[in-house]
Amino acid sequence: MTLTIAIYVVIILLVAIIAKLAIHVINQYEMGVVLRLGRVIGVKKPGLVLIIPVVDRLTKVSMRIITLPIQSQGIITRDNVSVGISAVAYFRVVDAVKSVVAIENVYAAIDQIAQTTLRKVVGQHSLDETLAETDVINSGIREILDVTTLEWGIEVTLVELKDIQLPESMKRAMARQAEAEREKRAKIIAAQGESLAAAALGDASDTMMAHPLALQLRNLQTLVELGVDKNSTVVFPAPLMSTINELATFLARENDSALRAAATVAAIEAKQAEDEAHHLAA
C-alpha cells in the first residue's frame, strides 16, 4: 500500500514537471521563438503554447518599445570644445528570430553601439550646431543605428539628446557673448529712437514756426503740468530770440511815438511864434 502511494506521488510529480516544461503562456506583447535540438522551427504567437520538453526550448521576446538611456559621453566637438552629452534611445524588436539568433545580448549591444554612434555624430558638428541643430543630430544617430540594428531584428524608433553639459569657462564666455548681443540690440534700438524723436521734433518745430501761438500754448501747457506738483517756485525758460525781437519792436515803436510827439510840439510852437510875429507887425 505504501509503495503504491509512493508510485502515485512520483507519477504526479513527473506529470507536473512535464506539464511545467511543456505548457507555456505567451503574453500579448511577446513572441515565442522555439528551438528544437538547437534549430529554429518557428515562432509562437501570444496564447497557450505546447512544446516538447527537453527537446524544445522556448525563448520569449518582448515586442514592446524599450527605453534605453545613453549615459553621458565626454565628446570633443569639431571646434575642439569638450562637452558631456547624454541621450535616450527608443527601440523595438521587429524580427524575433533575428533578435535571438543574430546577437547574444541585444540590449547590451544597442547600448554600446548607441554610445559610439553618439560620439561619432556629435564629433562631426561644432558646439553651436550641437546646441541649435539637435534634430539633425538625432536623425543622424538614428539613421546610423538603423543600418546596423536592422540586421539584428531591431528597429530604432527615436533618439533624443537629453542633456548637454558645458565647461564653466564656456558657460561664462557664452554669457558674455549673450550680454554683448543684448547691449548691441539696446544701442541700436536707442539710436533708432533718437532718430525718430529728432524727426518728430523737426516736424514740431516746423509747425510752431508756421503757427507762433502754438509755442505759447505749449509753454502754458508745460506750466500747467508743473503746477500739478504744487511747486512754490518755477523757473521757466522763455524763448530768447522771440523775446529780444518783441523788445526791439517795442522800443522802435516807442521811439517812433516820441519822435512824432516832438515833431508835433515843434510844429505847434512854430505856429504860435508865427502868429505872434504877425500880430506885432499889425
Question: Which pLDDT score, from 0 to 100, does residue 232 have?
Answer: 60
Question: Helix 134-149 and helix 106-122: axis angle, to 10°?
Answer: 140
State the average pLDDT over residues 47-76: 85
Q: What is the mean pLDDT of the chain?
A: 80
Residues 46 and 16: beta-carbon distance below 8 Å: no
C-alpha cell at 192: 533708432
Among 17-26, 70-79, 114-123, 204-213, where is mean pLDDT lowest? Answer: 204-213
Residue 228 predicted with pLDDT over 70: no
Grade residue 243 by pLDDT with cuts at 50, 70 and 90: low
Grade residue 223 by pLDDT with cuts at 50, 70 and 90: low
Report the percent of the chain where pLDDT is more than 70: 85
Question: Which pLDDT score, from 0 to 100, does residue 189 have?
Answer: 92
Q: What's the DSSP call for residue 166? A: -
Report the chain's terminal Cα–Cα distance, integer Å.
Answer: 198
Residue 218 predicted with pLDDT over 50: yes
State the average pLDDT over residues 166-195: 85
Residues 73 and 118: beta-carbon distance below 8 Å: yes
Grade residue 240 by pLDDT with cuts at 50, 70 and 90: very low
Q: Read off the pLDDT of residues 131-153 as tens digits, 9 standing for 90 and up.
A: 888 888 888 888 888 888 888 88
Q: Give the residue, 1 or 129, on which the prediction is more confident.
A: 129
In order of 68, 154, 231, 262, the CA distances from 65 in angstroms are: 10, 10, 77, 116
C-alpha cell at 248: 526791439
Residues 43 and 96: beta-carbon distance below 8 Å: yes
- Looking at the DSSP bridge assignments, the partners of residue 60 are 32
Among 137-141, 143-147, 200-204, 250-254, where is mean pLDDT lowest? Answer: 250-254
Residues 63 and 92: beta-carbon distance below 8 Å: yes
Grade residue 202 by pLDDT with cuts at 50, 70 and 90: confident
State the average pLDDT over residues 220-241: 62
SS (H, E, C) 208-262: HHHCHHHHHHHHHHHHHHHHCCCCCCCCCCCCHHHHHHHHHHHHHHHHHHHHHHH
